[in-house]
Amino acid sequence: MTSKKMTFAEIKKTLKERDVTFTDIAKALELTPSHVRNVAFGSAKSKPVAEAISLSIGVTLESAFGDEYLTTSKRGPKDRTERKQAIYTALRNQQPVPAPQSMA
C-alpha cells in the first residue's frame, strides 16, 4: 500500500513557513543544497536527508515521503576482509592472486 506523500511544492512551502531553507539543511548535514532539493523533489534518494527534511517541517518521515523509505535495504560495500587478506597474502608471497570464486 502506497502512503500519500507531500509534493515538492508542499515541502518547500512548509519549509518557508517554518523559516528553514534547503541551504540550512544542507549546511547542517554538510551536503550541497541541490542534493537536499533533489531529495525533496524525489529525483535523489537519501534517508538521512529525508529525515532532516521531515524534522525541519515537523512531520514524520512517512508523512513527508510516503512509504519510500520504509524498506531498510542496506546498500554499500560488502565485507571484503577475507578477500583483501587473500590478495595481500598472495602478493607478499609473490604468488598469483586467487580468483574470487575460490574464496568460498
Q: How far is Cα 1 from Cα 5, in angstroms, rounded to an integer?
A: 12
Q: Is the pLDDT of residue 36 over 70?
A: yes
19-51: buried (b, 16+ CB within 10 Å) or exposed (e) per residue?
ebebeebbeeeebeeebbbbbbeeeeebeebbb
Give me the mean pLDDT over the 66-83 stretch: 75
pLDDT (0 to 100) of residue 49? 95
Q: What is the pTM of this model?
A: 0.67
pLDDT (0 to 100) of residue 104? 44
| Band of residue 37 on the pLDDT scale cut at 50, 70, 90 | very high
pLDDT (0 to 100) of residue 80? 77
**Per-domain residue ranges of the chain:** 8-65
Find the range with the poorest average confidence among 20-29, 46-55, 59-68, 94-103.
Answer: 94-103
Fold designation for 8-65: 434 Repressor (Amino-terminal Domain) (1.10.260)
Give me the mean pLDDT over the 79-100 stretch: 85
Give me the mean pLDDT over the 40-44 stretch: 94
